[in-house]
Structure 1
Amino acid sequence: MFSKNELEKYARTLWWGLSTARTSPYEKGDFILLRFDPDALPLAEAVFDMLVEKGMNPIPRQNLTSTMELSFYGKGGEDQLTAIPAGDKEFMGGLNGLISLIAPASLTHLQDVDPKKIGKAAVARKFMRDIMEKREQTGEFGWTLCIYPTPALAESAGLSMDEFKAQVVSACFLDHDDPAAKWMKIFAEAEKVKAWLNNLDIEHLRVQSEHTDLTVVPGRDRRWLGVSGHNIPSFEIFLSPDWRGTEGVYYADQPSFRSGNFVEGVRLTFENGIAVKTEAKTGGEFVAKQLTLDEGANRLGEFSLTDRRFSKITAFMANTLFDENFGGAQGNCHVAVGASYSDTYAGDQSTLDAGKKEELGFNDSALHWDLVNTERKTVTATLKGGEELVIYKDGQFQHE
């Protein structure tokens, strides 16, 4: 699939992402968890080799195969689904970084499994994400992830393997001699957008497209983030809003695969911050169940915009990492129901405890599900004082 040179460039790109995502520099001897699907083994080997050369201590961990997942979620009892091996908490607490390589062999193998069983396992393991988030806030941890093309991904996206790979190569700038240098240019351009947005005193945002009319309240002490190295690729500019101010209708015209289920045409109606009505052209029952996973599952955890001038992604890729960064003709807006991102807090990260999160309207959930709208849209900011300003139109930020 990839040449040795392409794999090495992909590995170096992931190192750029991992290093950029952490607020303090890595040191020799740091422990980096390398988590990968079996089909991503060629890239895992290239990343492992690179980490060793840099003096890191890579810890390779292969994810469950599709067959193993079906056994675990399909046959596992509640005790098995929620069992946590001794030492996992301590292990996560000692990590300095995580690189995740996503290469699913199947996207539909869990379609007949009760989503509540998958959710129960996720809730039981949420503490691991909480540990990583807390360590990230103190600068001790960073993470990044990417996808590796597989026949299942290509088929689900309606692309040939060559077409799918071409999207990956273009989006990650692997066709450049020095992908990291190109990423630094995108990073610099994104910094200008974020600085502009963060300098606006926004009361609320209104997103309008053919099927969407949604009001989102950024909330107090928030900052816009994006192109942080966390995802390869990543072109989105986002924040975690005050979930309590969400009102109106959001429509995701882009399909989505989640937990083995295909959904399309998701329509959410929000009142007083809660998704009180869920609809979908396909997979409506699954959507409804997902939004009852826990108390925060039917609230907004993220609001994001992608500038079409940044992103080279022009096709549906059947994977959230790429689809939430879709560029195309009109860029994209996406929201996530479920967990918020604590790093969008504009204050001292180390002081953002559970009580302050609740006070500021940061949402908490084991769910984080990105739903993408690629329609032509206008995003208007109402500033404190009443002035209205169009910040995004026809797929582009209006900062220039």
Structure 2
Amino acid sequence: MFTQDELKKYAETLWWGLATARTKPYETGDLILLRYDLEALPLAEAMYDLLVEKGLCPIVRANPSPKMDLSFYGKGTDEQLKAIAPGDREFTGNLNGLISLIAPSSLTHLKDVDSGRIGMAAVARKFMREIMDAREQTGDFGWTLCIYPTKAMAEAAGMSLDDFKQQVVKACYLDQENPPAKWASVFEDAQKVKAWLNGLGIRSLHIKSEHTDLTVVPGEQPGQWLGVSGHNIPSFEIFLSPDHRHTRGVYYADQPSYRSGNFVEGVRLSFNDEGVAVDVQAKQGEDFVKKQLQMDPGAARIGEFSLTDRRFSQISEFMANTLFDENFGGDYGNCHIAVGASYADTFAGDQSTLDTAKKNELGFNSSALHWDLVNTEPKTVTATLEDGSEVVIYENGEFKNE
């Protein structure tokens, strides 16, 4: 699949992402969880070798195969679905980093499994993400992830495996002599956009396209724009966590997606004045979407709003994978919302003060779900500022800071 040189570049790029995503530098002996799907073994081996060279302690965990997933979700009792292995809480609480290598051998093997069972398992393990979030807030944890091309993903995207791989190479700058240096340059460009957005004093945002008419509110302190932080490779999005209580209007995702073995297309969500998606429609997979949004009280609310500038993103094709599709560049860039959990690191104040009570007070959404739904239509995003004036911040796929 990849040459040894490409694997080395990919591993070095992931290290750039992991180091950039954490606010404190890594130290010798730090524990890094290297979690991977089986088909990503060549990249896992290259990443393991690099981590050892850096003086870190990689801990290897292979994800379950599709057959294992089917056994677990299809045959497991409620008790088995919710069971947590002894030591998992302590293990998670001592990790310093996480690298996830996504390489699914199947995208549809869970399509006949009740999505409620998948949600039950996710809710039972929500505490692990909360532990990692809390450690990230103190600078003791960082994470990044990427995909490794597989036949299943290529077929779902309507490409040959080689064409799919070339999209990955182009999007991650693996065809350049020094990919981390290129990512550092993109990081600096994104910093300028974020500084501009964060300095505007935005009261609310209005997103308008052919099928979307949505208002989101940054809130008092959840309103810090982040992005190109190293968390995802590739990632070109610039996002915030809105105050979920004030979302209203209609959002339409024209880009399809795969989730938990289900193909979903044409999702249309209507939010009431309390920020809840009360009308849920989809051209395909509607029942699945409705069940996902019933996973827990926060699943039908927004946790993220994001914009991608077409000048940043090299992604020009549907890739049947959220990591790439939420960063789609194309002709008009994209916006996406995530229903479910928000990102605590968008808090503009002292991260160490952000406990559960304060998150609730400020309108951060809490859920076991985090599902990105992407709109690639031509759109205008207009910000209403604190003084009541309006300014277009994004149009035809580009930020308007220049």
- TM (norm. structure 2) is 0.99
Partner of 2:69: 69
Partner of 1:200: 200
Deviation per CA, 1:52-90, whole angstroms, max 9, x where unpaired?
011000001000000000100000000000000100000
C-alpha separation between the residues in 1 aligned to 2:163 and 2:272?
41
Deviation per CA, 1:377-396, whole angstroms, max 9, x where unpaired?
00000111210100000000
Partner of 1:301: 303
Amino acid at match of 2:271: F
Deviation per CA, 1:238-277, whole angstroms, max 9, x where unpaired?
0000001101000000001000000000000001200000
Q: Which runs of 5+ in 2 are unaligned?
A: none
RMSD: 0.4
1:224 and 2:225 correspond: yes
How far the C-alpha of 1:162 sits from its partner, in A, is 1.2
Q: Secondary structure at the match of 2:130?
A: helix
How far the C-alpha of 1:203 sits from its partner, in A, is 0.9
Amino acid at match of 1:87: G
How far the C-alpha of 1:163 sits from its partner, in A, is 1.1
How far the C-alpha of 1:285 sits from its partner, in A, is 0.4
Amino acid at match of 2:245: R
Amino acid at match of 1:376: P
C-alpha separation between the residues in 2 aligned to 1:310 and 1:393?
15
Q: Secondary structure at the match of 1:200?
A: coil
1:352 and 2:354 correspond: yes
How far the C-alpha of 1:44 sits from its partner, in A, is 0.2
Deviation per CA, 1:362-381, whole angstroms, max 9, x where unpaired?
00000000000000000000
Partner of 2:372: 370
Aligned residues: 400
Deviation per CA, 1:97-154, whole angstroms, max 9, x where unpaired?
0000000000000000000000000000000000000000000000000000000000
How far the C-alpha of 1:201 sits from its partner, in A, is 0.9
Partner of 1:331: 333
Partner of 1:215: 215
C-alpha separation between the residues in 2 aligned to 1:344 and 1:353?
14
C-alpha separation between the residues in 1 aligned to 2:219 and 2:193?
19
Partner of 2:257: 256
C-alpha separation between the residues in 2 aligned to 1:288 and 1:88?
31
- Percent of aligned pairs with the same residue? 71
Partner of 2:80: 80
Partner of 2:152: 152
Partner of 1:281: 283
C-alpha separation between the residues in 1 aligned to 2:216 and 2:82?
35
How far the C-alpha of 1:353 sits from its partner, in A, is 0.6
C-alpha separation between the residues in 1 aligned to 2:129 and 2:55?
26
C-alpha separation between the residues in 1 aligned to 2:163 and 2:389?
45
Map residues 49-60 of structure 1 onto 2, 5 A cutoff.
49-60=49-60
Partner of 1:235: 236
Partner of 1:244: 245
C-alpha separation between the residues in 2 aligned to 1:257 and 1:141?
29
C-alpha separation between the residues in 2 aligned to 1:361 and 1:223?
13
Partner of 1:121: 121
Deviation per CA, 1:203-240, whole angstroms, max 9, x where unpaired?
11000000000000011112000000000000000000
C-alpha separation between the residues in 2 aligned to 1:172 and 1:22?
20
Amino acid at match of 1:108: T
C-alpha separation between the residues in 1 aligned to 2:56 and 2:215?
45
C-alpha separation between the residues in 1 aligned to 2:77 and 2:285?
25
Amino acid at match of 1:298: A
C-alpha separation between the residues in 2 aligned to 1:323 and 1:389?
27
Moved over 4 A (4+): none
Q: Which runs of 5+ in 1 are unaligned?
A: none
C-alpha separation between the residues in 2 aligned to 1:385 and 1:274?
28
- TM (norm. structure 1) is 1.00
